[in-house]
Amino acid sequence: MFKRVLVANRGEIACRIIRACRKLGVETVAVYSEADRESLHVRLAGVSICIGPPDAARSYLHIPAIISAAEISDVDAIHPGYGFLSENGHFADICRGLDIAFVGPSPGAMAKLSDKAGARELAKSCGIPILPGSEGKLPDDETGLRTARGIGYPVIVKASAGGGGRGIRVAHNDAALRVAMSAARTEAEANFGDGSLYIEKFLGRPRHVEVQVLADEQGAVVHLGERDCTTQRRHQKLIEESPSPAIDSRARRAMGAAAVKLCQAAGYTNAGTVEFLFEDGEFFFMEMNTRIQVEHPVTEMVTGLDLIEEQLRLAAGEPLRWRQKDIRHSGHAMEFRINAEDPESRFAPSPGQVTLFVPPEGAGIRTDSFMYSGYRVTPYYDSLLAKLIVHAGSRADCLEKSRSALREFILEGVKTTIPFHLSMLENNAFVQSEFDIDFVDRLYG
């Protein structure tokens, strides 16, 4: 096991990684921007190093600063968390070139799967169902138009290097497609430095279901079941749950097997998530996230595994401690993202000072956060403040326990998504699990 790990992230995931390291007896080094000087992860780590100003491009995304901090503190591993540099193959390559373990997949496997158009082609070669669409990246807009006419409108335009819901547009005709390609390309270039696009057939009412995987350096791969991430707004997830109430045991087995097959084909190691669209009993590969996910705690709650601990063990070269038959699931879990956003103002950001923070407690109730009373929420980064994760014996019991926990959750001083979550728990379509990926957008516009 590693002696000292640098956590190349901030917020709740940085705190989560530090706690997992502490559990394993591993020393930690936190990096932080000037805006995060008072953040909780800075206080929790054994050593903390400022790496730049608030602008993420000059701090959390600034590879030279992070590598300098790693060398100064003599770490033997870097955990990137999610977002920022977590899926940056160049960063992973630099780490390994300096004999610093990158807690994630190899740069080669990342390259195969982080490019979404390439991952789609790999899935197709493995016999995994994909939606009709372009063959790889679009060389020009005219090819996009011919592809769309061939598969039939509506279509969805996606950035090959996309993530976080960026670089995605839907088009219902030629004119709209030209606008969509231009807008998606511009957004992708601004956010990822890569404006390449691909096109898929747009499904009308799909569910978003993803499968968690773990893979070791000896070639073993297991899946840990699925999470349903259908409750989202503008492609940003808001509520996740496991198991998915939308799929049956046959689909569950097939999706798990497909996820494992893709990872084996890519030579994948560490933790990852294979994402699918599911509609009318059929599933289609969408993309793979080559990192830990925000919503990983729901899988932890139903399996009893600590995924961050497993990431560290796998990155240290340890073999998987379980075979597929050893993975057991218990009950139902849901995660509610508590964001600094105002649902009544189209989810506008709500920075400011948290005057009181008291998370709920009780059996089967967990809060992952970096909040404390007096903390000032800045406008520089993602709006996620906390994740409320609830576990119970059944979905019905989980819904009821979630209502109680959300009502008890005190987070004052900024607007949050707690009222939105409570409204979902009173919505009959949500309660009966009769909704699709555009459900929230139809409600909130």
Q: Peptide bond preceding 154: is omega within 30 degrees of 0, i.e. cis? A: yes
User: Does residue 291 have an active-site annotation?
Assistant: yes
- Whether 302 contacts 330, CB under 8 Å: yes
Distance from C-alpha of 88 to C-alpha of 109, rounded to nearest angstrom: 11
Within 10 angstroms of residue 265's Cβ, the number of other Cβ atoms is: 16
Q: Which tokens go with 5?
A: 């790990």
Q: Distances in Å between the alpha carbon of 299 and those of 132, 238, 255, 286, 317?
A: 31, 16, 16, 20, 23
Please pick, among 10, 120, 207, 291, the residue that the annotation labels catalytic. 291
- Whether 207 contacts 430, CB under 8 Å: no
Reduced 3-state DSSP string for the chain: CCCEEEECCCHHHHHHHHHHHHHCCCEEEEEEEHHHCCCHHHHHCCEEEEEECCCHHHCCCCHHHHHHHHHHCCCCEEECCCCCCCCCHHHHHHHHHCCCEECCCCHHHHHHHHCHHHHHHHHHHCCCCECCECCCCCCCHHHHHHHHHHHCCCEEEEECCCCCCCCEEEECCHHHHHHHHHHHHHHHHHHHCCCCEEEEECCCCCEEEEEEEEECCCCCEEEEEEEEEEEEECCEEEEEEECCCCCCHHHHHHHHHHHHHHHHHHCCCEEEEEEEEEECCEEEEEEEECCCCCCHHHHHHHHCCCHHHHHHHHHCCCCCCCCHHHCCCCCEEEEEEEECEEHHHCCEECCEECCEEECCCCCCEEEEECCCCCCEECCCCCCEEEEEEEEECCHHHHHHHHHHHHHHCEEECCCCCHHHHHHHHCCHHHHCCCCCCCHHHHHHC
Residue with tokens 């020393």: 27
Catalytic residues, by residue number, are 291
